[in-house]
Amino acid sequence: MSVQALSGADVKATPQSPPLTAEHLKLVDRVAGWNILVGVLALSIGALLGVFQGLEHARVIDIYPWLQPVIKTYYQGLTLHGALNAVVWTTFFICGFFTFAFVRSLNRPLKYPKLSVIAFFVMLAGLIIAAVPMLMNNATVLYTFYPPLMADWAFYVGLTLLVVGSWIVGYSMYFTYYAWRKENPEVRAPFIALASTITMVLWQIATLGVAAEILFLILPNAFAPVFGYTAPGLDPLLSRTLFWWFGHPLVYFWLLPAYVSWYAMLPAQTNGKMFSEPLARLVFWLFLLFSTPVGFHHQYADPGIPEIWKYIHMLFTFGVGFPSLITAFTVVASLEIGARARGGKGYLRWIGRLNWGDPSYAAQNLAMILFIFGGIGGIINASYNVNMATHNTMWVPGHFHLTVGSASTLTFFGITYWLVPKLTNRKLFTPKLALAQAWTWFFGMLFFSNAYHTLGLVFSVPRRTMLGQAPYYSEQWNLQMMESVLGLAFLTISATLYFAIMLFTWILPRKLDKPIEMPVAQPLDPKPAPKWLDTWWPWLNGAIALVILSYGPMLFQLIRDAEFWSRGIRVW
Ligand code: HAS
Ligand code: CU
């Protein structure tokens, strides 16, 4: 076997596997395209609602009287904003992007392509079923749906289908990966295929928590009025614990697709190489290990969980920050190789030589810069005692608009700038507008999140509150509120541009001059990664063991002592 075939790089020829036909790729691209279309539509509506939220907070306009024919309350708007942006846009985009990238990276057809098609329709059905009660103001429980808040049953059934659909996307990948492995026992799995499969396995482990919460605790209560039996009641602490088992790794389900692109695609978009392919693999394995046993960092303020468990989860949280620190250094090194190949010089002057003129590149690099601040904020949140100052304040929306709203979302925008032209065979409408879109998002999020961080930390302004109506609204907040409105202005322009760019790319008949290929960065060192970085069992078993150790004793205690005294309530 040649060195090339053994290398950890995306191996082009794997003759042992069935060939990828044009027809198969067409199907894969169609499925990817459907997913991305739904994602972009959800984002467009969700983003608009976000602007209303922000304007309400800043008392720019009293939105709810005139929005009421469509959106009854602030909390309904906030539920839709969170669900459509954080859950629907991300999940659909990720499933589409992974299906596309996984097949190309593995250079093998999907083993059961119908699974990927079915998955999309299950997810779509879930979205529609959950959207109806949300739009009718029957599921105003925010995207975390903490019991005892109780939505219409359809909300939970829809969410369940959305998650089950995304599991099926994963199963389609696992079967294919397994078949490929049997056909190519000696070859290292190509990085993009491996990293996206690890992400889907992480998602599978994570979603077990929320699946248990919905199936065993919530649905028996939500179905009670439908079938006319007495609701068995709820234990809010047990529900929240199962939710956060899922809720933290959820954020890595959003982040790791961006990391797939930053590690293995972005360097190729600026003449760079992967600085260390083995380290990139290690980073993904570490995420599989440490993403889940950290959920109590969202529950530091919850009574009923002994401090020692909060400390243990805090330590693991610092552990899961580590692979991101590796990422910061190695991805920058990969980009620097590119900038120097493009004639860049000096300690920092090379940065100017990166491929800033390409909107796909620029959007992703800007996303990385915002993530430095988002990540630092995360580590601050994770510190048990400092969290007491930031928890439930506007600091937290400040944090997650830099992470899911920037690191992930702005990266996904960047990816769509090559992927959507590729899928539609149409030219991007237009690179200059797309550049403007990326920069306006960057400055928008910078101002917006800076303002919210300050409001939370300095003035303890609470999050998830209809601030515009609050009797304690303070003049002291004015400066930051103005800054947030400036950010919102940029973000509104940016979101409008993005929607227009996607729409016109899709509908205008401007065929591509030359075909687009998925960018794949080659490793700097062609030596294959060590076998232990291409082996599932230690990492997967380790991840399961850590989940059992970090959650087992507490869950045992919470289930043993559970008291289902709380009835589901509707507070809106
Ligand atoms: Fe977080 C709350 C801790 C990352 C999302 N987080 C949230 C919530 C969301 C969220 C949505 O410990 C709110 C949940 C709710 O509704 O209640 N978070 C962390 C930690 C990390 C972290 C330790 N979060 C994320 C990511 C998210 C996300 C990623 C979405 C995608 N978070 C918390 C905690 C809370 C929390 C507490 C609870 C708060 C509370 O009290 O309620 C870490 O993973 C962060 C590690 C990241 C870094 C940054 C590495 C930087 C990189 C970029 C390098 C780029 C360079 C630029 C150098 C250490 C990789 C190069 C430039 C050139 C020009 C070349
Ligand atoms: Cu978290």
Q: Which atom of ligand 1 is nearest to the CA of 255?
A: 31
Q: Distance between CA atoms of 235 and 140, rounded to whole angstroms?
A: 20
- Closest protein CA for atom 4 of ligand 1: 378
Q: Is residue 1 part of a domain?
A: no
Average of pLDDT values for 501-513?
A: 95
Quote the tokens at residue 104. 């190309």
pLDDT tens digits, 270-326: 999 999 999 999 999 999 999 999 999 999 999 999 999 999 999 999 999 999 999
Q: Which atom of ligand 1 is nearest to the CA of 329?
A: 58
User: Would you say residue 248 has pLDDT above 60?
Assistant: yes
Q: Which residue has the tokens 């000696």?
A: 186
Active-site amino acid positions: 248, 252, 399-401, 463-464
Q: Distance between CA atoms of 561 and 234, rounded to whole angstroms?
A: 13
- Closest protein CA for atom 10 of ligand 1: 400
- Closest protein CA for atom 58 of ligand 1: 328
pLDDT band at residue 5 under the 50/70/90 scheme = very low
Q: Is residue 12 part of a domain?
A: no
pLDDT at residue number 496? 97
Which residues line the pocket of ligand 1, CB cutoff 6 A? 144, 251, 254-255, 297-298, 317, 320-321, 324-325, 327-328, 332, 335, 351, 365, 368-369, 371-372, 375, 378-379, 381-382, 387, 390-391, 396, 399-400, 403-404, 407-408
pLDDT at residue number 1? 33
Check if the beta carbon of residue 214 is closer than 8 Å to that of residue 159: yes
Q: Which atom of ligand 1 is nearest to the CA of 387?
A: 41
Closest CA to 89 of 61, 123, 114: 123
CA of 148 to the centre of ligand 1 (A): 28
- Closest protein CA for atom 11 of ligand 1: 400
Rounded to the nearest 10 degrees, the angle between the axes of helix 359-382 and helix 409-424 is: 150
CA of 64 to the centre of ligand 2 (A): 31
CA of 309 to the centre of ligand 2 (A): 15
> Of the bound ligands, which one is closest to the alpha carbon of residue 246?
2
pLDDT tens digits, 417-467: 999 999 999 999 999 999 999 999 999 999 999 999 999 999 999 999 999
pLDDT band at residue 8 under the 50/70/90 scheme = very low
CA of 373 to the centre of ligand 1 (A): 8
Q: Which atom of ligand 1 is nearest to the CA of 408?
A: 31
Q: Which residues contact 556 (CB under 8 A, 6 or more apart)?
A: none
Of residues 17 and 446, the one with the higher pLDDT is 446
- Closest protein CA for atom 54 of ligand 1: 328
Q: What is the overall mean pLDDT for the chain? A: 95
Lowest mean pLDDT among 64-78, 131-145, 443-457: 64-78
Q: Is residue 453 part of a domain?
A: yes
CA of 375 to the centre of ligand 1 (A): 4
Average of pLDDT values for 217-234?
A: 95
* Residue 569 phi, psi (nearest 5): -125, 155
CA of 400 to the centre of ligand 1 (A): 7
Q: Distance between CA atoms of 482 and 466, rounded to whole angstroms?
A: 17
User: Would you say residue 13 has pLDDT above 60?
Assistant: no
Average of pLDDT values for 129-139?
A: 97
Closest CA to 419 of 40, 128, 122: 40
* Residue 110 phi, psi (nearest 5): -60, 140
Q: Distance between CA atoms of 103 and 274, rounded to whole angstroms?
A: 20
> Of the bound ligands, which one is closest to the alpha carbon of residue 393?
1
- The domain of 308 spans 22-467+476-560
Pocket mutation for ligand 1, best pick of 386, 399, 463 (most atoms within 8 Å of C-beta): 399
User: Would you say residue 399 has pLDDT above 50?
Assistant: yes
Q: Which atom of ligand 1 is nearest to the CA of 317?
A: 23
Check if the beta carbon of residue 304 is closer than 8 Å to that of residue 240: no
- Closest protein CA for atom 52 of ligand 1: 328
pLDDT at residue number 15? 55
Q: Is residue 482 part of a domain?
A: yes
Check if the beta carbon of residue 379 is closer than 8 Å to that of residue 318: yes
CA of 527 to the centre of ligand 1 (A): 33
Pocket mutation for ligand 1, best pick of 141, 296, 326, 403 (most atoms within 8 Å of C-beta): 403
User: Would you say residue 66 has pLDDT above 50?
Assistant: yes
CA of 388 to the centre of ligand 1 (A): 17
pLDDT tens digits, 30-55: 999 999 999 999 999 999 999 999 99
- The count of domains in the chain is 1
Average of pLDDT values for 220-232?
A: 95
User: Would you say residue 204 has pLDDT above 90?
Assistant: yes
> Of the bound ligands, which one is closest to the alpha carbon of residue 387?
1
- Closest protein CA for atom 31 of ligand 1: 404
> Of the bound ligands, which one is closest to the alpha carbon of residue 292?
2
What one-character DSSP code corresponds to residue 397? Answer: H
pLDDT tens digits, 156-166: 999 999 999 99
CATH number at residue 71: 1.20.210.10
Q: Which atom of ligand 1 is nearest to the CA of 321?
A: 46
Check if the beta carbon of residue 32 is closer than 8 Å to that of residue 99: yes
- What is 284-320 written as a DSSP string? HHHHHHHSSTTGGGG-TT-TTS-HHHHHHHHHHHHHH
pLDDT at residue number 141? 97
User: Would you say residue 502 has pLDDT above 80?
Assistant: yes
